[in-house]
Amino acid sequence: MEENSMGDSRHPRVILKNFVSVEECKELEFIHKSCCTVGYRPNVFSTTLSHLIATRSPHLILPFVPIRERLKEKLEECFGCEYELFIEFTGLISWTRGASIGWHSDDNRPYLKQRDFAAVCYLNSYGNDFKGGLFHFQDGDPTTIEPLAGDVVMYTADCRNIHSVDEITDGERLTLTLWFSRDCSHDEDAKLVCLLSQSQLHSSNNEPDPYLPLPASSSMYWFSPDHISQHQSGFDICWARMHILGYDLFSPQDKSCFSALDSSCDFSERLMEQLQLARGDELFDLEFVNILHVLQVVQFYSWKASKLQTSKVERETENLVVKLSESQREKINNLRTTFLNDQQLAETVLGTSCGESRQHSFQWVSFSAAVGAWEDYTRELRKELVLSLPYWRTHQAIFSVPFDGS
């Protein structure tokens, strides 16, 4: 089928090539890998916009804004329903080994009847980043879509577009998925503006540092193979993502409850504790406020590593790290046993044999530069959010506000 053309009216659908830029894909990948929770189905992870607000990272909504706008405009144009649609849901969704979905339409539950259209943006690529995961339409053309970063598929949510996704066999398949509704009572924007207004009030109430993320309940980050044995076997997905990238975590507080054998201490509290990063036999000097804080910086470094390496980093390497002592190592191992209870499973689910050659070489000097660059990035987005929110509240809608004086 030709790009942008509606082809067969019995199966209203559109494929857009390179609709999302490489840089936009990378930024959304950074957000997902530092903020996602376990999803609604086995081996699926998701990041919703309301979750970003709830975990004190509302500024991370901003990178979605221009993409949502362009998608809605394009969809309305292609399907001839200008000014009729509301975004019902926006989310980053990743599927890992074992995830798949059989033939279905996207409005196939009583509580999904408000869905009129779907837009799926592929943020990474079949073959490069994951294996399996091909998208199929049951009838009409095209039948099969090979997900490629930047491409978008849009289709009606009804039974004219029955589709399926093959099982993922390796890697992590990432999409930005939106559903649209004609029913204004399902407008996601109005709900988000309301949540943002509340969180804004909250953060002005003498919060020490509103830039720092706050983890949700630990169960939202716990991956267990059977969904029954919570906290028995499985792993914390934040811990697992850092493990996959070669990091360990150390708790500078000398608390006995960090022993894997001591179950009297509340599990969820440990994620909120101050943490330090370790790598090999080295301990990074900086203390992070909680697991999400470390993870955002680590993922930011992964995103920006190549740039941070080529730019001249003037800072001294010494004083950044110390050698781990024997007892510190032991504490790290205890932590790991608790949070990566099933290390093998974590590596199978979140690790990949795809694209291993693209892993950048690690340097503490450039990591240290990434800490500062992450703070700058966060501060800029915060500023933009604070400026945008009054306009969003007035219009009860989320849109790009041009700050050029107009």
**Footprint of Fe ion (CB under 5 A):** 106
Among Fe ion, ligand AKG, none, the one that 135 touches (CB under a kind-dependent 5 to 8 A) is ligand AKG
For ligand AKG, the closer CB: 16 or 340: 16
For Fe ion, the closer CB: 100 or 259: 100
For ligand AKG, the closer CB: 165 or 295: 165
Residue 20: CB minimum distance to ligand AKG, A: 14
Whether 345 and 270 have beta carbons less than 8 Å apart is answered as no
For ligand AKG, the closer CB: 115 or 304: 115
For ligand AKG, the closer CB: 74 or 255: 74
| Block residue for tokens 């440990």 | 270
In this structure, the strands spanning 117-122 and 163-165 are unpaired
Which stretches within 228-353 are classed as H helix? 237-244, 267-272, 291-310, 326-339, 343-350
Residue 372: CB minimum distance to ligand AKG, A: 36
For ligand AKG, the closer CB: 45 or 377: 45
Residue 223: CB minimum distance to ligand AKG, A: 19
- Three-state DSSP class for 397? coil
Beta strands in 143-262 (DSSP E): 144-145, 152-156, 163-165, 168-181, 222-223, 235-236, 248-250
- Could you list the residues that contact ligand AKG (CB under 6 A)? 101, 106, 120, 135, 163, 165, 175, 177
CB neighbours of 361 closer than 8 A, spacing ≥ 6? 309
CA distance 248 to 220: 21
Residue 95: CB minimum distance to ligand AKG, A: 7
Among Fe ion, ligand AKG, none, the one that 175 touches (CB under a kind-dependent 5 to 8 A) is ligand AKG
Residue 101: CB minimum distance to ligand AKG, A: 5
What distances in angstroms separate CA 293 from CA 42, 301, 371, one per listed residue? 26, 13, 10
CA distance 333 to 132: 35
Residue 106: CB minimum distance to ligand AKG, A: 5
Nearest to ligand AKG by Cβ — which residue?
135
